[in-house]
Structure 1
Amino acid sequence: MDGQEYISPNTKKTVPARYMRNRCNSATCKIYGKNCSYINDEQRRKIFDVFNKIGDLHLQRVFLTRHLELRGTKRTTTNKEKSRRQHTIIYKLTVDNEAVVVCKKLFLNTLGITENMCRTALSKINDLGVLVKEKKRWQTKE
């Protein structure tokens, strides 16, 4: 979970190290009210390093849930079928003790993670708003 290259215990394949990907097109994000241009590459590198140095899956999920916000959708469809989409996810990164709303691409690329990791973290929150720990204990065979 620290972002380093490793050999998967299940498939025995080498999983490449996590890395920070390119930033988004800030001009497009500004149109939609995102502040992606507010965060420079040095700040992104610090956020990436902090997230990967956590090294514990549960604590990384805590980090994610504190930087993700679920809001109800603004519009609904007029179709007879009910839409499966119930929420909008707001992505935030903390810079100088201030939460900055950014686009999904910048958020995921800065942390070097996938959208699925965010969805999983949000699904682990119970009705009381507490992040539930994994019941499984991952152990590697040596």
Structure 2
Amino acid sequence: MDVGRKVYRAGLLEPLLVLAFLFQAVSGLYLAWRWSHARQDAFRTFQIASGVFLSVFILGHMNSVFVYARTYLGIPTDWRLRRAHRQASYTTHGISPLVPHYALGVFFVLGHLFAGLRGVLNAHGYRPKAARRVMQGGLMLSAAVAAAIIAAMCGARI
């Protein structure tokens, strides 16, 4: 994480990453608005809803990192931020109320990617049933990964 932080916090790269995240959030909301008018199945509805969630999640996460952690708390945005949440007065039994927030974040990031993969498979002539099964398996994998990460955040050893 220390090596990665040196790369993504480099003088020129960090502002570009912030702009990329802002572009992703705004363009995602625009695409959700356009697609929401069209007729769709449950999988497309999931893709739109997960994209809207991720747009809000990205903006909220950036606010937490840049304003709350770096400016207000003056701490690096690593596991010390998690400890700060645990020590804050709004935790229950040492577990942050942000656990559902991050569980959904992980699940929807991965699930949104699998929804996009389903669209790509459909566009390239794969059988709809096969594309649907790829997405269903991807959603199950997404839930498992989210559960494992949240369990680790809560102190479980996996």
**TM class by shorter-chain length?**
0.3 to 0.5
Q: Name the TM-score, length of structure 1 as normaliser.
A: 0.33
The structure with the greater share of residues assigned to strand is: 1
- Structure showing greater relative contact order (alpha-carbon pairs closer than 8 Å, 6 or more residues apart): 1
Which structure's CA Rg is the greater one? 2
Q: Name the TM-score, length of structure 2 as normaliser.
A: 0.31
